[in-house]
Structure 1
Amino acid sequence: MAQTLTGTMLAATVPMVRTLNLEFVETQAERAVLRMPDQVDFHNHVGGPHAGALFTLAESASGAVVLGAFGDYLSRAVPLTVRAEISYKKLAKGPVLATAELERPAAEVVAELEAGERPEFGVRVTITREDDGAVTGEMAIVWTLRPHS
Structure 2
Amino acid sequence: MSDTQAATASIAELLRSTVPMVRTLNLSYLEVGPERAVLSLPDQPEYRNHVGGPHAGAIFTLAESASGAVVLAAFGDQMERAVPLPVRAEVTFAKIARGDLVSTATLGRPIADVLAELDAGQRPEFPVEVSTVRADGAETGRMTVIWTLRPNR
With structure 1 as the length reference, what TM-score do the two structures score? Answer: 0.96
CA distance in 1, matches of 2:9, 2:56: 26
Q: How does 1:5-20 map to 2 (within 5 A)?
A: 5-20=10-25
1:83-125 CA-to-partner distances (Å, cap 9, x unmatched) read 0010111111111000000111111101111111110000000
Answer yes or no: is 1:35 the counterpart of 2:40: yes
Question: Match for residue 57 of structure 1?
Answer: 62
Percent of aligned pairs sharing the same letter: 61
CA distance in 1, matches of 2:145, 2:84: 12
1:30-64 CA-to-partner distances (Å, cap 9, x unmatched) read 00000000100100011000000000100000000
Q: State the one-letter code of the partner of 1:144.
A: T
Unaligned runs of 5+ in 2: 1-5
CA distance in 2, matches of 1:94, 1:103: 28
The structural deviation recorded for 1:78 is 0.5
CA distance in 1, matches of 2:123, 2:116: 10
Question: Match for residue 133 of structure 1?
Answer: 137
Q: State the one-letter code of the partner of 1:83.
A: R
Q: How does 1:1-149 map to 2 (within 5 A)?
A: 4-129=9-134, 131-149=135-153
The structural deviation recorded for 1:4 is 1.6
SS in 2 for 1:113: helix
Q: State the one-letter code of the partner of 1:141.
A: V
Q: State the one-letter code of the partner of 1:43.
A: R
CA distance in 2, matches of 1:51, 1:72: 32
With structure 2 as the length reference, what TM-score do the two structures score? Answer: 0.94
- Please tell me the root mean square deviation across aligned C-alpha atoms, in Å: 1.1
CA distance in 2, matches of 1:92, 1:55: 12
Question: Match for residue 3 of structure 2?
Answer: none
